[in-house]
Amino acid sequence: MRGFSDHNPAVLTVYFFAVSGIAMFCMHPAVTLISLAGALLLCLLHGGFALKSSLFTLGLFVLLALLNPLFSHSGVTVLFVLNHNPVTLEALIYGVFASCSMLAVLCWFRSFSRLMTRDKLLYVCGRLSPKLALVLSMAMRYVALLGTQAKKITQAQKALGLYREDRLRDHLRVFSILLTWALENGIITADSMAARGYGIGKRTQFAIFRFRRGDVLLLSLSLLCTALTLAGLGALDHSFYPRFTVSVHSPAAVCSLISYGILVLLPVMTEAKEAIRWHCFLSKM
């Protein structure tokens, strides 16, 4: 059984760029709410929400929603006057939807970071730029190596009686030793790559990911829904100032919203389809 996260990384990258790009550049209230609902559902499907990050996100949402009416006084519906400055309903609504749009984009990229593991990112970058993939793989490798080497250096300094936690000079000494080791190790790596003939001939690439029929179907649906959504965005009419108005009065606008709704629900529909197939498989056993 293949869930949404098991699809080809290139297909997942196209999907996330399409759905988050529309959410970033279109501030229509209906599009924003649809994007936020789809992003929250996907986050719930893949790991849920941690308490600290959820509280931080909620606090950021409330802060951004309240800051706009405090600094922007446009709009004709005055709720109250604060320090001789009118706080308007339209500015508050704009702040709420701007916060929703930012929250949706953050949730989409959170899901992207959870689903796109290191090997998937290297696969995508390797197709686009092999040199970029090499730099990323070496950088990811050095993150773990630097942490391990820093612990070794600290333990050696403690064994020699030269390290105390509360002295800045000892921390700087460890950092200096670590930096010297990193530079020396980089030179050794470069010499080793040159000795093995890196850059002489045409590079080959190995990947465990293959395009399958489900990947082609998901990619086709994503591109089709994205094209239909973009084609109808011009028909979506809304305004926040001076009055908040939203109108969906043309077939193109309705088609655009339906297409975007299908686009954001593709992961949920994929997971639901696989769950139904798995249930049917178990029932036949």
pLDDT per residue as tens digits for the range 86-133: 888 888 888 888 888 888 888 888 888 888 877 787 777 776 777 777
The contacts of residue 268 (CB under 8 Å, 6+ apart) are 38, 41, 42, 45
Q: Sort 22 into a burial class: Cβ within 10 Å, 0-12 / 13-18 / 19+.
A: buried
172-178 — which CB contacts under 8 Å span 24+ positions?
174/150, 177/153, 178/146, 178/149, 178/150, 178/153
User: Of the ranges 126-130, 171-175, 244-248, which is most confident?
Assistant: 171-175
Between 2 and 215, residue with greater pLDDT: 215
- Total Cβ atoms within 10 A of residue 11: 21
* H-helix segments, 235-265: 251-264
The span from the CA of 159 to the CA of 42, in Å, is: 50
Number of DSSP helices (H) and strands (E) in the chain, helices first: 10, 4
Mean pLDDT of 215-244: 85
Between 254 and 137, name the one with better pLDDT: 254
Please state, as a whole number, how many other Cβ atoms lie within 10 Å of the Cβ of residue 195: 8
pLDDT at 47 over 60: yes
Instruction: Choose between 266 and 247: higher pLDDT.
Output: 266
Confirm if 76 and 242 have CB atoms less than 8 A apart. yes
Q: What is the pLDDT of residues 19-32, one digit of tens each?
A: 988 888 888 888 88
Partners of residue 88 on adjacent β-strands: 78
Predicted pLDDT at 204: 66
Asked if 48 and 56 count as a contact pair (C-beta separation under 8 A), the reply is no
Tokens of 189: 């790596």
How far apart (Å, rounded) are the C-alpha atoms in residues 139 and 119?
13
How far is Cα 87 from Cα 78, in angstroms, rounded to an integer?
6
pLDDT score at 224: 93
Place of tokens 């950021």: 60
Q: What share of the chain is helix, strand, coil (3-state, %, to 5)?
A: 75, 5, 20
Give mean pLDDT, residues 212-228.
89
Give 89's contacts (C-beta < 8 A, 6+ positions apart). 75, 77, 78, 79, 244
Q: Is the pTM of this model over 0.85?
A: no
